[in-house]
Amino acid sequence: MARTVSIGNQDFESIRRENYFYVDKTHFIKEWWECGDSVTLINRPRRFGKTLNMNMLEKFFSVEYAGREDLFQGLCIWEEEKYRALQGTYPVIMLSFAKVKETTYRNAQKKMCQIIASVYNHFSYLLDREKLNEQEKEYFRKISVDMEEYVATDAIGVLSEILFRYYGKKVIVLLDEYDTPMQEAYVNGYWEEMVSFTRSLFNATFKTNPYLERALMTGITRVSIASCEALESMFSDLNNLEVVTVTSEKYMDSFGFTEEEVFTALNEFGLSGRKEEVKEWYDGFIFGSISDIYNPWSIINYLDKGKLGLYWINTSSNSLAGYRSGAG
């Protein structure tokens, strides 16, 4: 019997708990970890599973999910003892800038401060622990939507130190949709201010942070709103950054569905006779040397509704290189 398709669900835990349709991408955990890169930026189009994969990483590494082998049993990452032992052993800081879509710099900065404050609130249990000194507790209380800019840009770095002292391990930082504020800044005329703020935040979080074990950022494939030179200025201090684009060989099959995965899904849903029709309808997306990578949003909507449609085009604002006409 085919599993239920949960449209728009980006919560790895609920997908696994309810046994919703899921294409196993846990091999990405091993691939990313064994590359050993300090800070990784992965650019992929919208609706290619970035947020779900980030959520998966959080659930795998976070100490808050220690002992949750039920989420990974039966998936490929659980086949190796090394990774079974690694699950749930790191403090993880997870944040997303997806909702930072403001028309002024002040409001955008306040929204980013609000997101950072919510991360601190997530770890508020540390205030009741003896391992935090009074100075650290006082810093904790400074974190708010109205905090000073210098406090905000240092906040994730400081939290990394606090978590290191509490757990005795360096932290993993996951930042989803890092570039949403940059898009809005360009469109609404506060680009330079946003670049300055973000550069300081990234430097303190990803470059000069001695308590960082690994970090992963995601964004869309092509930021058509700004030149490459302008974006590079934001990352000018991050010489420890590994950038993975759609033309990179790394992680090509970790985001999006391969043709084999699509055909396996069609078999599960009793649609094996429509493989060629689906292939002609979608016609793949070019990632490096692999052309047949399918947009998950199109495929899961097709599995759910049983009919072809322009699912991805109708929901995405990407302007994409390598995308063939006729793709869904």
- Per residue in 61-120, pLDDT (tens digit) is 999 999 999 999 999 999 999 999 999 999 999 999 999 999 999 999 999 999 999 999
Output the average pLDDT for the chain: 88
Mean pLDDT on 209-228: 76
Mean pLDDT on 225-247: 72
Buried b or exposed e, range 186-221, using 16+ CB within 10 angstroms: bebebbeebbebbbbbbbbbbbebebbbbbbbbbbb
What is the distance between the alpha carbons of residues 286 and 53, in angstroms, rounded to a whole number?
20
Interacting residues of 212 by C-beta distance below 8 A, sequence separation 6+: 38, 39, 160, 170, 171, 173, 205, 206
Kindly report, residue by residue over 272-307, the tens digit of the pLDDT.
Answer: 999 999 988 886 676 766 667 898 999 999 999 988
Task: Tell me if residue 90 falls in helix, strand or coil.
Answer: strand
* pLDDT at residue 252, as a whole number: 87
pLDDT band at 311 (very low <50, low <70, confident <90, very high): confident
Does the pTM exceed 0.75? yes
Interacting residues of 210 by C-beta distance below 8 A, sequence separation 6+: none
> Apex CA 123: angle with CA 9 and CA 154, to 5°?
100
Domain 37-244 CATH assignment equals 1.20.1070: no
Domain spans of the chain? 37-244, 259-305
pLDDT at 326 over 60: no
Mean pLDDT on 301-324: 67
The share of the chain scoring above pLDDT 70, in percent, equals 89
Range in 2-6, 11-15, 235-239, 306-310 the model is least confident about:
235-239
